[in-house]
Chain A
């Protein structure tokens, strides 16, 4: 049963995710919270893992969630679910419907979808940023000095390094740096007694 739900839910993600990895994060987040498959914390950890391992993020997420909920069969079915819509649609486009992307109704649909996706991406990023800084609920804000320090270090790394070396910072170096900063800052603050 879980396997079928996994397949169905990831099929939906595959069918409605436009605009690459970041666009599907809100969809997957709603799904894993709805079924209590992952806690919020676990979900954000998982995004970090999926961004720093090779391959498409959606496939990585499907495999992981599937495996933790229903073992090897679950990971296979969730992955199949997320891949199948793209596979079928592209087969259609490549074989018979070459003009799909020139169809005015389809173009109209996409013109309405793109700004929505962008809104979803920005709200997801902004909410996560607020939460890392210590937002708990409307009545509770526990300022997280560790995360604030790490964010400042990340911003420095991200904006200063390209100026010094002339190269853009990719996702993997950024994540590796953030992991090192996470350990360094936590240990330092613990030693200074800022963290209990």
Chain B
């Protein structure tokens, strides 16, 4: 069991490109259709959990599926399996990249890739846009963070976006507290 957890997640780590959501289709095929380790409903539930917990989606999924089928040892086997391909491939690339980048054509290729990255980041944002709550506080948070980050960049202010994340979370919890009191009054 441990070995098959390891090998299935190793394959997922090796053959899924583009991170996060691109991986879900493949994970579904391996885990739900072929192996029947999870039902369709369980997978949806795990994705919901993975979305509201920090960290890479693939790691969250591997840990969860591993735990369900082999407790702590299973989760270790699955997580190590999904990480190893990245670890080996990027380690090898890191050894050669500098000399590789000195090549003129490689540098040209990266001028293009940089544009694609800007494109992909904006597209990830657009894909997530429907999840933005159309209510005053979330909308204000979204636009404030967006504008402030751009202003900070223009005026070269150093700021840690961690503070934004924690601040957003606190405001969310505060609203929750206010909402509760409001309900009490009624």
A contact residues vs B (CB 8 Å cutoff): 12, 14-22, 25-27, 30, 34, 44-45, 47-61, 63-64, 67-68, 72, 75-76, 79, 82-83, 85-87, 89-91, 93-95, 100-101, 104-129, 132, 137-138, 146-147, 150-151, 154-155, 158, 170-172, 174-175, 177-183, 185-187
A177 contacts across to B, CB distance below 8 A: 116
Interface SS majority for chain B: helix
Interface residues of B (CB under 8 A from A): 13-23, 48-60, 63-64, 67-68, 72, 75, 79, 82-83, 85-87, 89-91, 93-95, 97, 101, 105, 108-122, 124-125, 128-129, 131-133, 137-139, 141-146, 149-150, 153-156, 158, 160-162, 164-177, 180
Majority secondary structure of chain A interface residues (helix, strand, loop or mixed): helix
Chain A residues within 8 Å of B51, by CB = 18-19
Which residues of B are found within 8 Å of A175, using beta-carbon distances? 113, 116, 120
Q: B110 contacts A45, CB within 8 Å?
A: yes
Tell me the nearest residue of chain B to A126, going by C-beta. B150
Contact (Cβ within 8 A) B121 A128 = yes
| Contact B171 A112, beta carbon cutoff 8 Å | yes
CA distance A174 to B174 in the complex (A): 42
Bound together, the chains give a CA A172 to CA B13 distance in angstroms of 15
Give bound CA distance, A63 to B83, whole Å.
10
Nearest opposing residue in chain A for B138, CB measure: A115
**With A26-B161, A45-B113 known to touch, is A67 a contact of B18 (CB < 8 Å)?**
no
Report yes or no: A53 in contact with B17, Cβ–Cβ below 8 A: yes
| Cβ contact within 8 Å between A48 and B169 | no
CB <8 Å contact, A187 and B108: yes
